[in-house]
Amino acid sequence: MSEARLDLGWVRVFEAVGRRGSLTAAAHELGLSQPAVSYTVRMLEQQLGTRLLERGHRGSTLLPAGERLHRAASAAVAELDAGARAIRRMSRQPVVRLFTDYGFASFWMMPRVAQFRRVRPDTEVHIIASAAADPGADEAEDVAVLFGTRADFGAGATQLFEERVFPVCSPHFAARHGLSEDPRRLANLPLLHLDSTPHPRWFAWRDWFAAMSVRREPGPGDFSLNTYGLVVQAAIADQGVALGWAGLIDGALADGTLVAVGPPLARPESGYWLRPGPEPSGPARELIDWIIGEA
């Protein structure tokens, strides 16, 4: 005669009892009462016709039959939980995490993210913006767009655009001060500085004036801000002259919100680089290809 099949309602209960070594601890973990857990184990022992646990005042110890059954229960629970996680992932909208700085997030990515949504409406993009040069251990990313050089990011990174800066200000500010392409005209005007890190990797005003062979000391009207978005907002609000990064302020130049008032300074080996995560998913790879195409 064929053996009676076990009722499998005990599997998770017995797995927790064996792992925790206590009926009470297992009951607490599973949100059950201790008598309910004890009853489940007792019914299981009756179905198998043998004892599975050695019950004591300080907990419960698996007997040889219990150890064998617990190995099978643990494997079954692990496999079922993995299957459940995979099914939940299948039913969720794909999410791609993009780590970058505030400037790229605000001026390049945000104006374009709606375009990517039209291409991939089933993919959600999470933009993680930070002043940090690199994501920390707890900031997992699928794609990173960061500022630096090839040496900073390795052979797997792709340069999106080189570092190229030039003075910009509002049209009203330029007209009021009679600004032209002569860099000496800027030496006596209030300047807007990006001051987000003690050791910046990007061009600062001192680099631009040195390249133009113009001597200029910090003036009382200068203004330092800790994000590039604030620098650009201050320039638009007639507060002074800022360094504009090609690739970030193209939209403001195109619509006339800002105007260029000095020659550019470029550094081809530096700029914004795209670095894929360690194992990019299909949606992440599509976002990577789309960003490279747009840039």
| Residue 47 in domain | yes
CA distance 290 to 286: 6
pLDDT for res 190 = 93
Radius of gyration (Cα) for the chain, nearest Å? Answer: 31
Q: What integer is the mean pLDDT of 272-295?
A: 89
Query: Got the DSSP string for 190-211?
Result: -BEEE-S-SS-SS--HHHHHHH
The number of domains in the chain is: 2
With vertex at residue 294, the alpha carbon angle to CA 288 and CA 295, rounded to the nearest 5 degrees, is 90
Predicted confidence (pLDDT) at residue 89 exceeds the cutoff of 70: no
pLDDT digits 0-9 by tens, 204-213: 999 999 999 9
φ, ψ of residue 180 to 5 degrees: the values are -140, -160
Q: Residue 160 — very low, low, confident or very high, per pLDDT cuts 50/70/90?
A: very high
| Residue 42 in domain | yes
pLDDT for res 133 = 56
pLDDT digits 0-9 by tens, 228-262: 999 999 999 999 999 999 999 999 999 999 999 99
User: Which one of 91, 117, 138 terminates a domain?
Assistant: 91
Same domain? 13 vs 131: no
pLDDT for res 82 = 85
pLDDT digits 0-9 by tens, 12-41: 888 899 999 999 999 998 899 999 999 999
User: Which one of 91, 113, 144 terminates a domain?
Assistant: 91
* Paired sense of beta strands 95-100 and 124-129, if any: parallel
Domain residue limits at 149? 102-295
CA distance 12 to 30: 9
Q: Residue 55 — very low, low, confident or very high, per pLDDT cuts 50/70/90?
A: confident
225-262 core/surface letters (b: 16 or more CB in 10 A; e: else): bebbbbbbebbbeebbbbbbbbbbbeebeeeeebbbbb
Residue (of 57, 58, 15) closest to 37 by Cα position: 15
pLDDT for res 147 = 92
Q: What integer is the mean pLDDT of 170-196?
A: 88
Q: Residue 111 — very low, low, confident or very high, per pLDDT cuts 50/70/90?
A: confident
What CATH number does residue 243 fall under? Answer: 3.40.190.290
pLDDT digits 0-9 by tens, 163-180: 999 999 999 999 999 887
Residue (of 31, 48, 36, 37) closest to 15 by Cα position: 37
| Residue 97 in domain | no
Q: Residue 134 — very low, low, confident or very high, per pLDDT cuts 50/70/90?
A: low
Same domain? 70 vs 164: no
pLDDT for res 92 = 63
